[in-house]
Structure 1
Amino acid sequence: MMAQAYYLPFFFQAVQATSAKVSGVQILPSGITIAIATLVSGIFITMVGYYVPFMWTGAAIFTVGCYLLHTLVWSSTMKAWFGYQVIIGIGYGISVQVPYLAVQVVVISVDRPLANALISLFQALGGALGLSIAENVFQTWLIKRLDKIQDINVPIIIASGGTDLETIVSASNLDSVRNAFSGAVINAFLVSVAAAGAAFVTSLGIEWRRIGVKKDSPEMRDNSVVESTSH
């Protein structure tokens, strides 16, 4: 999610020539959808009693949304980028809280604070690592594409961060430079596609447990006794 949060405003500013304020408004659909989806999924998980299907569903939807975001181009309409953000927000919102719910079920009470801390740690590390990889992909593709354009100052363009390109690039080269930024951004989004796909695959191996039956509950202890005596 870090790559989208960082590069989507960049896409709006560098590729579609919007201002920083406008791009901040344009990324609201994902944030609002995440908040709503998180709240709604929490209610439904409590009602159903099983969290694993929501992890599968959320990861699958998030993967699709990340791929759709990868298809954006400079001429993409509001309908496209708004809808893609909603899909991403739904997928991320459904699944983001599931690990914390799983901890309450599969981990004994004394270890739950540590387990929750580890989840937060690895989510932060994963986001930072993913953003670092996306930055590397972005820089590599941008430099490669800009080097093919004649009569431009590549270091100055890169240093500009993609803003106010019309003031540092001639009108004849402006579209080519914007296309270079567009290609670099959508390739950076591929990192999110790969990460989301990996999350979906790994979620398939999550243990099924019902909320309300915790690791150290009497029901779980009774089941353990039955299993041990049967062996």
Structure 2
Amino acid sequence: MAATTETVTVPLEALPRLESGSAVAASSITLEPFSSRARSNQSHTGSEAAEHATNNAVLTAETTASEQEEYPVGAKFWFTVLSLVILLILGGLDGNIVATAVPNITDYFHTVADVGWYLSAYKLCVCSFQFLFGKLYNIFPIKVVLLTAIATFLVGSVLSSTARSSSMFIVGRAVTGLGAAGIFAGAFTASVHIMPLRWRPVFNATLGGIESVAVISAPLLGGVLVQTLSWRWCFYVNLPIGGLALVVTLFFFPNLKAHGSDSAASWQTKFGQLDLLSTAVFVPALTCLFIALSWAGLKYPWSDARVIVLFVLFGLLFTAFAYIQHRKGDDALLPLRIMKQRSILAGLIFSLCTNGAMNVLEFYIPTYYQAVREYSPAKSGYMMAPILAGFMIAVILNGAGTTIWGYYVPSMMLASTLMPLAAGLMTTWQVSTSFAQLIIYSALAGFAGGIGFQAPQSAVQTVLPASDVPLGLSVILFAQNFGPALFVAVAQTIFTNQLSTNLKGLGIALSPGEIEKLGLTDLKSAISPTLWKDTLDSIDKSLVQTWYLVIGLTCVTMIGSLSMEWRSVKEKRQ
């Protein structure tokens, strides 16, 4: 059936005003007919029509300006891409390499009390400062902010690799996480300035795939470095890679102007726009949450007063953060207009649950291979190849498909359909599961997680004006980092508590805290050899019970998929 065209009449006061000196002429703003939004909006009446048309007009102006923007070409373009690739490899490796080195680090510092912070300090800072860097990239020159982030990352790496105490190592990891927050935000913000919108999905998908390869390869590389050199080399390795990134960025990265910046404003004025009060409230809020999750059910019962107080403090501080955002309006660290945008909220839900689910699998699949199948660490690393291959293929297909057809919502819906299926199949894994099933199920899980992975970032760059893109990307990047930090901690609590319960059925009395301290590697020495086969079954059962969390998370992603606006990265908005 042919689409009918309905004219929307909009009062003049609903249109945005453009100054005569604006780079975008008023004639470039043309309201779309109603039929071109039929996929996402069935009807508009009264004020809704005016608001819809106004948004389209603003986005038309932004798109026209984007099309007129000069992008780097030739060697400058490829050096810029090289810089971004190196940065994402750096961030991907560092975020996951520490897990392999933890046993050696605890032996060196003669303490296990700080183990949780070896992993959490980095993740906490990546999450806590994501919104601040979104604001920085929106106000200050992108190259300056990115160079500062790289330098901060390298300082953190030096502190970590030369640490003489556990406290110094934790500080180093925190500083590294602060730099990584800026690197991740800068890499994807830069894509807005180096190519047109329609080509960004395949470019961002490639960057995301490269980062994922680094993330999954990190434990294997860490194991090699620890066995052949020292745990310190897990962090020394950042210095030559980061140094190369610093040099390439310094000499070849273009001087990109932030879309939201006023070139006439002084640096003092720009610093005043950062809303540091919000960051000062948000960081301790997440700190309380991270500590509570690391303690609850492991170090202390969920009903313990210390755990409850931390959760209450998190709630109060987060409420204060939300209130500050409301009071400051457009000057806030995270303006509420960003969070009220339907596609941003949908992308937040989708990314939070997708990345959380995938990281739980990536964390516990090697555990299955080493503890249940009794594979060596190296072999368990090789067995991660199917999930990595599936993810990479899906990410590239998604990026190419979005660039060709324009729409990113179908890939999200496909992901939300396949992910629960793959997670459900993985709950059937047992001690005797065939090799073919291990390969196929894990490859399907990787493909399902990758097919919609970059869609929320494409949505941000499509539905928001260019001046708001860094802030919108910071929301998605926060979700992509906070999801793993939150749900891996939840999964760890589920696994240790379920394993403690299952072992009690064998007459083995080990508390969740004792299991956490022993680790699965040393658990065998604490159990009678006659019970080891039954113990393997108990570990397998506990892993399956943990993967039910993955099923739940992947089902929730459908809320994000169905809520996302149907928009195309190719539409001209004419």
* TM-score tier (shorter): 0.7 to 0.9
State the 1:42 CA deviation: 0.7
| Greater RCO (Cα-Cα under 8 Å, separation 6 or more) | 1
For 1:188, which of 517, 521, 546 is the aligned residue?
546
State the 1:15 CA deviation: 0.9
1:128 and 2:485 are equivalent in the alignment: yes
State the 1:90 CA deviation: 1.0
- The one-character-per-residue Cα deviations of 1:85-107 (angstroms, maximum 9, x if unpaired) are 11111111110000011111111
State the 1:135 CA deviation: 1.0
State the 1:160 CA deviation: 3.6
Q: Which amino acid aligns with 2:497?
A: T
Question: Alpha carbon RMSD of aligned pairs, Å?
Answer: 1.7
- CA separation in 1, counterparts of 2:405 and 2:420? 24
Q: Do the aligned residues in 2 keep the contact of 1:130 with 1:192 (CA within 8 Å)?
A: no
For 1:14, which of 347, 371, 374 is the aligned residue?
371
Q: Do the aligned residues in 2 keep the contact of 1:66 with 1:193 (CA within 8 Å)?
A: yes
- The one-character-per-residue Cα deviations of 1:68-124 (angstroms, maximum 9, x if unpaired) are 112211111111111111111111111000001111111111000111111011111
- The one-character-per-residue Cα deviations of 1:144-185 (angstroms, maximum 9, x if unpaired) are 0111213x4636665442226554432320111111111111
For 2:510, which of 154, 157, 161 is the aligned residue?
154
1:101 and 2:461 are equivalent in the alignment: no
Name the % identity: 27
Q: Assess, with a 3 A threshold, how the Cα gap between structure 1 residues 218 and 4 changes in structure 2: closer, same or farther.
A: closer
Give runs of aligned pairs for residues 1-231 of structure 1, distance below 5 A.
Answer: 1-150=358-507, 152=508, 154=510, 159-163=517-521, 166-213=524-571, 218-219=573-574
- CA separation in 2, counterparts of 1:101 and 1:133? 29
- CA separation in 2, counterparts of 1:2 and 1:218? 38
- CA separation in 1, counterparts of 2:527 and 2:538? 13
Q: Do the aligned residues in 2 keep the contact of 1:17 with 1:163 (CA within 8 Å)?
A: no
Moved more, 23-32 or 152-161: 152-161
- CA separation in 2, counterparts of 1:218 and 1:199? 29
- CA separation in 1, counterparts of 2:362 and 2:382? 12
Could you list the runs of 5+ residues in structure 1 that have no partner in the other structure? 220-231
- CA separation in 1, counterparts of 2:456 and 2:516? 39
Which is greater in Rg? Answer: 2
Q: Assess, with a 3 A threshold, how the Cα gap between structure 1 residues 111 and 45 changes in structure 2: closer, same or farther.
A: same
- SS, match of residue 154 in structure 1: coil
- CA separation in 1, counterparts of 2:517 and 2:455? 40
State the 1:190 CA deviation: 1.0
Q: Assess, with a 3 A threshold, how the Cα gap between structure 1 residues 157 and 132 changes in structure 2: closer, same or farther.
A: closer
Q: Do the aligned residues in 2 keep the contact of 1:14 with 1:165 (CA within 8 Å)?
A: no
Q: Which amino acid aligns with 2:543?
A: V
- SS, match of residue 473 in structure 2: helix
- CA separation in 2, counterparts of 1:32 and 1:10? 19
- SS, match of residue 204 in structure 1: helix
- CA separation in 1, counterparts of 2:389 and 2:440? 13
- CA separation in 2, counterparts of 1:8 and 1:139? 15
Q: Which amino acid aligns with 2:438?
A: W
Aligned residues: 215
Q: Do the aligned residues in 2 keep the contact of 1:105 with 1:212 (CA within 8 Å)?
A: no
Moved more, 159-168 or 49-58: 159-168
Q: Assess, with a 3 A threshold, how the Cα gap between structure 1 residues 174 and 135 changes in structure 2: closer, same or farther.
A: same
Q: Assess, with a 3 A threshold, how the Cα gap between structure 1 residues 101 and 178 changes in structure 2: closer, same or farther.
A: same
- CA separation in 1, counterparts of 2:560 and 2:399? 21
- CA separation in 1, counterparts of 2:384 and 2:475? 29
Q: In structure 2, what is the equivalent of residue 227 of structure 1?
A: none
Q: Which amino acid aligns with 1:144?
A: T
- CA separation in 1, counterparts of 2:570 and 2:548? 38
- SS, match of residue 162 in structure 1: helix
Q: What's the TM-score once normalised by structure 2's chain length?
A: 0.36
- CA separation in 2, counterparts of 1:146 and 1:158? 14
Q: Do the aligned residues in 1 keep the contact of 2:371 with 2:536 (CA within 8 Å)?
A: yes
State the 1:201 CA deviation: 3.0
- CA separation in 2, counterparts of 1:15 and 1:98? 35
Q: Do the aligned residues in 1 keep the contact of 2:422 with 2:444 (CA within 8 Å)?
A: yes
Q: Do the aligned residues in 1 keep the contact of 2:496 with 2:515 (CA within 8 Å)?
A: no
Q: Do the aligned residues in 1 keep the contact of 2:398 with 2:451 (CA within 8 Å)?
A: yes
- CA separation in 1, counterparts of 2:481 and 2:515? 31
Q: Which amino acid aligns with 1:61?
A: L
- CA separation in 1, counterparts of 2:371 and 2:522? 8
